[in-house]
Amino acid sequence: MAKRRKIKVLVLMGGPSAEHEVSLNTGKNIIHALDPKKYLVRPVLITKKSKWLIAPSYQTPLLYSQRKLAVKNLVPLAENPLPNRVFDSPVAFIAMHGKYGEDGTIQGMLETMGIPYTGSGILASALGMDKPRSLSLFRDNGFNVPDYRVFNQQEKIINPFQCPLVVKPSNHGSSIGVSIVRHKRDFKNALVEAFRHSNHIILQKFIKGRELTCGVLENKNGEAFALLPTEIIPRVGNFYDYRSKYDEGGSEHVVPPHGFSQKTISMVQNTALYAHKIIGCSDMSRSDFILGSDNKLYILEINTIPGMTQTSLLPEAAKAAGINFPKLLDLLIARALRKQ
């Protein structure tokens, strides 16, 4: 029997967004988990200043794990051009979060080069990153959405909500620039922090309740299915902020949430599936919710490239469904090749 040819994978990580470090952790975690019997890997690291660095050649993931992906082992892309799919046949695993990596930019570049890639396409990526537009779509399709207003830096901002309220950038992830304003004296500082990361910000009514998330995957035929929802219990912050997400022990993840009936679990799953469909996501997504004290399920946002670090939610939920991390990566790569 002929030996099966290994699949060449470009792992794209980093980028100029505020989520650069998170993206590096995601990329490294992916490389370490790829099966060396199935894949050859070539890391592509985009620096904070948008300089592209690439490994000199494809290697087994095991070798990169031993080298710890030292930047000194990578060379500028101009000296070693990104291969054309016609001659090299790679698939790109996008491990980039935030602007440039998750907003349709990198997806458009890969499509012009004919390189298949993991995750959602250009439009779905752009919609998922643009919170005001995705929230508008969700509201128009019958979702419960916390009341919100959008402002830019040139407008006079009058707070339409009582404290507490949420202030956040309109196009960032990882809770960067997000504040829960509990006292009027903190409102101005919250605005300054949000505007540091975006030209448009969202003021949103605070919903008291249980913080949930629910991942969606697609099988090899493109049929979407929801994973069990996860309840997020922050341990180092007052909400699921950056430290709660990425510090060791920063939060507790409960899959499925304690005390949930099957009816409630199905409600969360069906809403996540519908959100995935409305935005037009591919391969995977993860929607964030609040189950309010009024027992209504409020959608907060959708993530088209969920984190893949050791503390990330989607891999944990997949594992609870019997899909370990290497199998999850196999599924996403298979979907990318199938879409091609």
- From 210, 212, 214, select the one nearest 286 (Cα to Cα): 214
Residue from 23, 174, 179, 285 carrying the catalytic annotation: 174
> Per the annotation, does 140 bind a ligand?
no
Active site residue 19: yes
7-118 maps to CATH 3.40.50.20:
yes
The residues near 11 (Cβ < 8 Å, ≥ 6 apart) are 27, 30, 31, 41, 42, 43, 44, 92, 93, 95
Active site residue 312: yes
pLDDT of 183:
84
Confirm whether pTM is higher than 0.75.
yes
Q: CA torsion 93→232→103→122, rounded to 10°?
A: 70
- Could you check whether 7-118 and 148-205 share the same CATH topology? no
CA distances from 199 to 167, 253, 266 (A): 13, 33, 37
The stretches in the chain having pLDDT less than 50 are 1-2, 85-87, 241-242, 244
> Per the annotation, does 316 bind a ligand?
no
DSSP string, 94-157: E---STTTSSSHHHHHHHHHT--BSS--HHHHHHHH-HHHHHHHHHHTT-B---EEEEETTSPP
Q: Are 92 and 111 in contact (CB under 8 A)?
A: no
pLDDT of 139:
96
> Per the annotation, does 303 bind a ligand?
yes
- pLDDT tens, residue by residue, 190-233: 888 888 877 888 899 999 999 999 999 999 888 999 999 999 98
Q: Is the peptide bond before 164 cis (omega within 30 degrees of 0)?
A: yes
Active site residue 174: yes
Residue from 134, 170, 287, 312 carrying the catalytic annotation: 312
pLDDT of 76:
75
148-205 maps to CATH 3.30.1490.20:
yes
Q: Can you tell me the distance from the alpha carbon of 266 to that of 63, in angstroms, rounded to the nearest whole number?
A: 43
Residue from 19, 102, 211, 231 carrying the catalytic annotation: 19
Helix (H, G, I), strand (E, B) or coil at 311: coil
Which CATH code is given to the segment(s) 127-144+208-337? 3.30.470.20
pLDDT of 280:
96
Domains of the chain by residue range: 7-118, 127-144+208-337, 148-205
